[in-house]
Amino acid sequence: MPDLDTETAADTAAAPLAGIRVIELARILAGPWAGQLLADLGADVIKIEHPEGGDDTRRWGPPFVEGADGENLSAAYYHSTNRGKRSVTIDIATVEGAKAARDLISSADVVLENFKVGGLKKYGLDYGSLKPDNPALVYCSITGFGQTGPYAPRAGYDFIIQAMTGMMSITGEPGREPQKAGVAISDIFTGLYSVIAIQAALRHAERTGEGQMIDMALFDTQAGILGNQNLNYLVSGSAPVQMGNAHMNIAPYEVFPVSDGHVIIAVGNDGQFQRFCKLLGATGMAADPEFQTNPLRVAHRERLRAELIAEMSSWNKADILAACEANAVPAGPINNIAEMFADPQIIARGLRMDLTDGAGTEIPSVRAPIILPASPLHYDRPSPRLGEHTQEVMAELEAIKSKGKRT
């Protein structure tokens, strides 16, 4: 484990990954998303950034976070994925910078990087070069297409990955332009799977003293998270298609219009369907032989939808949602993001939080969706300013060197 100063160790003692040091050679989203969650879990995540500009997302705005004195503290995008880290500015393309990065890694448990395949070898920062000096090192490489296969040399972009893996072919309305998801889900899910893999590799290193290189690919992740749609194809031989808001395997499970907007109705079983018909007063639908089971409702979904729209046309959103809740029928409103943050459940769960930096600027954030009562996550600082911790981290490194060993 790395040497940590007394204050840092005390602050993170109860966190699950306290004492783990991570060197993040990653930028944009997938790698930093993994690094942020590792920091939330208590790891000391040191983000190495280029002295001129740092992570690209610092400039991906507007909007930008503004300091108390009007200083530009980087784009909101950057702050969404770099909470809790320490920023060190190093130009790894120089001999001195590459050596400084290697020295830092010699004091670390994990390296997290998202360069192109082989991109760090020329700096001596690839796994093969680092392993002899740190045999227990867990090295997580995130690329678009992985370390092997015909596409391995290609750069990976979430948008293109969503297209190539079939995600866009099942997103959007029938007959309309294929659609990507509203956030970069390939990147975000790859970040999450990377954290799972890193924790498993750390457990292996703890047992055996041996590290390993983790090969994470956006392409693999996006293909894997298609879930039931993958099995729908593998079992039936028919590729799923765009169905708008409808569900391929369940009905009624989609958006329905009411008198003042739209609501979600998500009926998952026959009992729920009968209760829904009852609250609507639709006795004919409840008794219709073509609607008695989910497979029958799926087979007759067009007529089912038309009749439900007619039955729901006189209802408003508030009344139908209240009736559904009272009768245990799954339903919900369609909120925008502002409405989501104002939702009483979001407020009760404390998803929104504000973190204050060393200069007194409050920076908004969203906590990780993990609650561990016995070993809580910690949120002790917002995203760092560029190079904010360079002197601090380098002083720690010199202290470690003077002891002549990792502790």
Per cent of the chain over pLDDT 90 is 92
Q: In the prediction, which pLDDT does 124 show? A: 97
% of the chain surpassing 70 pLDDT: 96
Domain residue extents for the chain = 21-226+350-405, 253-335
All residues at 6 or more sequence positions from 138 whose CB lies less than 8 Å from its CB, including other chains: 109, 110, 111, 198, 201, 202, 205, 211, 212, 214
pLDDT of residue 334: 97
- 253/268 Cα distance (integer angstroms): 8
> Do 380 and 15 form a contact (C-beta atoms < 8 A)?
no
Kindly report the average pLDDT of the chain as a whole number: 94
**Which residue in 40, 44, 55, 187 is the catalytic one?**
187
Q: Please report which confidence band the pLDDT of residue 10 belongs to, taking 50, 70 and 90 as the band edges.
A: very low
3-state secondary structure the chain: CCCCCHHHHHHCCCCCCCCCEEEEECCCCHHHHHHHHHHHCCCEEEEEECCCCCCHHHHCCCCEEECCCCCEEEEHHHHCCCCCCEEEECCCCCHHHHHHHHHHHHCCCEEEECCCCCCCHHHCCCHHHHHHHCCCCEEEEEECCCCCCCCCCCCCCHHHHHHHCCCHHHCCCCCCCCCCCCCCHHHHHHHHHHHHHHHHHHHHHHHHCCCEEEEEEHHHHHHHCCCHHHHHHHHHCCCCCCCCCCCCCCCCEEEEEECCEEEEEECCCHHHHHHHHHHHCCHHHHHCHHHCCHHHHHHCHHHHHHHHHHHHCCCCHHHHHHHHHHCCCCEEECCCHHHHHHCHHHHHHCCEEEEECCCCCEEEEECCCCCCCCCCCCCCCCCCCCCCCHHHHHHHHHHHHHHCCCC
Active site includes 187?
A: yes
Specify the CATH number for 253-335; select among 1.10.287.110, 3.30.1540.10, 3.40.50.2300, 3.40.50.300.
3.30.1540.10
CATH T-level fold of 21-226+350-405: Rossmann fold (3.40.50)
Listed residue (89, 6, 25, 140) closest to 393, CA to CA = 89
Tokens 């009736």 — which residue? 323
Q: What is the mean pLDDT of residues 151-178?
A: 96
pLDDT score for 404? 64
Range scoring the smallest mean pLDDT among 8-22, 24-38, 189-203, 303-317: 8-22
For residue 405, name the pLDDT band (cuts at 50, 70, 90): low
